[in-house]
Amino acid sequence: MSASGGAWGTVRVTDVPASETSADPSYWAQWTKDSEYGLRWHSLGRHFGIRAYGVNANVADAGRELVVRHEETEFGGQEELYVIVRGRARFECDGEAV
Instruction: Read off the pLDDT of residues 13-24 as tens digits, 9 standing for 90 and up.
Output: 989 988 777 878
Q: CA 10, CA 13: separation in Å to the nearest integer? A: 9
65-92: average pLDDT: 81
Torsion 59-21-67-32 (CA) sign: positive
Alpha-carbon torsion, ordered 21, 46, 87, 97, to 10 deg: 70
- pLDDT, tens digit (0-9, with 9 covering 90-100), for 15-68: 998 877 787 888 888 888 888 888 888 999 999 999 888 889 988 888 888 888
Residue 63's pLDDT is: 87
Q: Are strands 92-93 and 56-58 parallel, antiparallel or unpaired?
A: unpaired
pLDDT band of 98, cuts 50, 70, 90: confident
pTM: 0.71
